[in-house]
Structure 1
Amino acid sequence: MIKPILLLLCLFVSIISVADQDHSGHNDNLLLLLKDKISLQKLITQYPALPAQQQAQNLAQQRVLFRHALSLLKDYVAIPESQYPNMAMYHDSLKSRAALMNDFVELMTDSQCKQDPSCG
């Protein structure tokens, strides 16, 4: 009697896990994007005060983080309307995704301006 119940429980957990997989990946990407954003903010802030050799290392780290973040961002913003239960949630998600994209644009601009003192 215990074996069939245990088997059904395992099957139920695996079905729930598969059903949640798409949304979970979306949330995982958001967390990774926020982590990269914070790391980039720190690197960009530190850049001007570093000696030339460390600036080069800093820029290399920035480049790696930007590439990683932009590949995640590409997937994160591509979530279709059909993944949301209603239009209001989809609309809120679009605003949130646009704000995150804008944050990364600002980081790129800030990074570029820290490297070029003539930047306005």
Structure 2
Amino acid sequence: MKNSLKTIALAVAFSATFAFSSFASDKEAKKTSSFGTSIYASRSGKIQVCVDKFTAGKTVIVLTDQRGNTMYKEIIGKNMDKYRKSLDVSELPDGNYHIEVYGNGEKHSHHFELSEKPAERKISFE
């Protein structure tokens, strides 16, 4: 009975050690990236750009249209850790667009499409 309890306790301890060490290695892998990005559309129709930098160095944000024309470009300084920007795209024509965030040899790309629904006309009878 004592041997089986010791064996079970040893198995549980070994499993817990292995599980916690795998979480630690995941955190270390995440730290190797020089920056993280989050780009999404807000309810107001603007594009929200969020960049969290983990290393010193310049980071560049570029918005291009489907022909490769640069519509917006901004350089984030090497001393900024967090960057938040709201891009008003209401004046841009319908089409496909591409946002690239790059720096320190790393690049994150995001594609989005602008399109306007045609106005619907409703007729109701009373």
Range class of TM-score, shorter chain: 0.3 to 0.5
Q: Which one has more relative contact order, counting CA pairs under 8 Å at least 6 apart?
A: 1
Structure richer in helix, relative to its length = 1
TM normalised by structure 2 equals 0.33
TM normalised by structure 1 equals 0.35
Structure richer in strand, relative to its length = 2
